[in-house]
Amino acid sequence: MDFSEALKRVKEGRKIFRLGWNGKGMFVVYQKGYPKGIPCNHQTALAWGMNEGDLFKCNPYLQIKNAQGSHSMWVPSIDDILADDWEDIR
């Protein structure tokens, strides 16, 4: 499938990935964020100059599970956007 269909599906709660990716077990999920805020932890408070427990507002974003098993915020590359080898996992 192309990226527009993959984006639709990830927003529905499915995990998406590209067949062309080298890393085993990599996929992208949609994080709804915290538009009304969530109390920030110590690390977030330090990073943003806030007080621990202050409301931290976060817009929705895409997150990837990397080949090493860690997670990162993710922005698709031009190649990802134009690719038609996207798949999804329920």
Write the pLDDT tens digit of every residue in 16-71: 999 888 778 899 999 999 999 999 999 999 999 999 999 999 999 999 999 999 99
pLDDT band at 90 (very low <50, low <70, confident <90, very high): confident
Tokens describing residue 61 = 């974003």
pLDDT on residue 46: 96
pLDDT on residue 51: 97
pTM for this model (two decimals): 0.85
pLDDT band at 77 (very low <50, low <70, confident <90, very high): very high
Residues 64, 28: contact at Cβ < 8 Å? yes
What gap in Å lies between CA 69 and CA 67, rounded to an integer? 5
